[in-house]
A = this chain, B = another copy of it.
Amino acid sequence: MKPITRIEQSLAAALATGEQEGCPLKLAGAIRHAVFPGGARIRPQLCLAVAQACGDDDPGLSEAAAVSIELLHCASLVHDDLPCFDDAATRRGRASVHFAFGESLAVLAGDALIVLAFQALSEGAVRSPQRLAPLLATIARGVGMPSGIVAGQAWECEPRVSLAQYQRAKTGALFVAATMAGAQACGVEPEPWRALGDCLGEAYQVADDIRDVAADPDLLGKPMGRDAALCRPSAAGQLGLDGAVRLFDALVERAIAAIPPCPGAAQLRALVRAEAERLVPQSLSGELVRVAA
């Protein structure tokens, strides 16, 4: 089965457990809207790719870890779009949750998704219960305090922000959780997998900054130019487009070099290259560098 199929099926199964009799219909609708149809599912794909590279000896648990990470990502998108943050009317090319269902349901849908994420993880640990606690710790660190994605978003409320610290928490933390959890789900020591997640998270953030100033909003599925409009720190803003593209390429190379020795290392390297090309096509890089010059 293709990884994306495993992810979509596992996400659907996780949502179905929450949508049993007695669930308020609008809440169920808001949650479904937040999760389906998805974006590229890049974090759960990364998690499964690492699990695959490590042998994937408990596929139910690696799927649960991937689902947990994606549900937490979806929760963060729903809350980040709220009027008190970005006040974004669109997300993934259609109405944001608060725009479609109202602010109250958007707050609650995000909350319910966080709960569902840990619930789904736990349910996936039937075969390997001893792996649950360390896996949960890794994923929770990617989301909460002191430096998960929620803390990353909270840096926007501080008077002084270091760009590196902000982006590492806001984006990098969940990429680190994805690579480390992918290894842990197979009973593999996770620490050597941190650097891959760290580099890819930074690369992804830089790609996002590039796309925010350069891409077609239809392609992006959300309004562009938001970072500048919100005075949000951005690599493209600080380094210029040219510098941002160079940084992106360097980070992808560092990520590939950081892949630890494992049975599926070659495949994983190829996957990272393909994903990098999808995010910032070489043709676009060339064009951007020309425009910026």
Contacts and interface: CB of A to CB of B under 8 A. Distances in A.
Interface of A: 18-28, 31, 75-76, 79, 82, 84-85, 102-105, 107-108, 110-112, 114-116, 118-119, 122-123, 125-126, 129-130, 132-133, 136-137, 140-141, 143-148, 150-151, 153-158, 165, 169
22 contacts: A18-B144, A18-B145, A22-B151, A23-B151, A25-B158, A26-B157, A27-B150, A75-B111, A85-B107, A102-B157, A104-B153, A108-B157, A111-B143, A112-B151, A116-B145, A118-B136, A119-B144, A122-B140, A123-B133, A129-B129, A129-B132, A132-B132
A144 to B, nearest CB: 3
A233 to B, nearest CB: 14
A252 to B, nearest CB: 26
A231 to B, nearest CB: 14
B85 A155 contact: no
A146 B115 contact: no
Nearest to A111: B150
Residue of A31, A141, A151, A156 contacting most chain B CB atoms (<10 Å): A151
B18 A146 contact: yes
Contacts of A112: 144-145, 150-151, 154
A146 B23 CA distance: 4
Identical copies in the complex: 2
A31 B156 CA distance: 16
Contacts of A150: 27, 108, 111-112, 115
Main DSSP-derived SS at the A contact region: helix
B111 A27 contact: no
Contact of A84 (B85, B107, B125, B137): B107
Given A108-B150, A150-B108, A126 B133 contact: yes
A169 B27 CA distance: 13
A25 B145 CA distance: 11
Given A114-B114, A153-B108, A24 B158 contact: yes
A107 B105 contact: no
Contacts of A85: 104, 107
A157 B123 contact: no
A120 to B, nearest CB: 9
A77 to B, nearest CB: 12
B114 A115 contact: yes
A166 to B, nearest CB: 9
Given A114-B114, A150-B112, A145 B104 contact: no
Which of A18, A108, A155 counts the most B-chain CB atoms under 10 A from its CB? A108
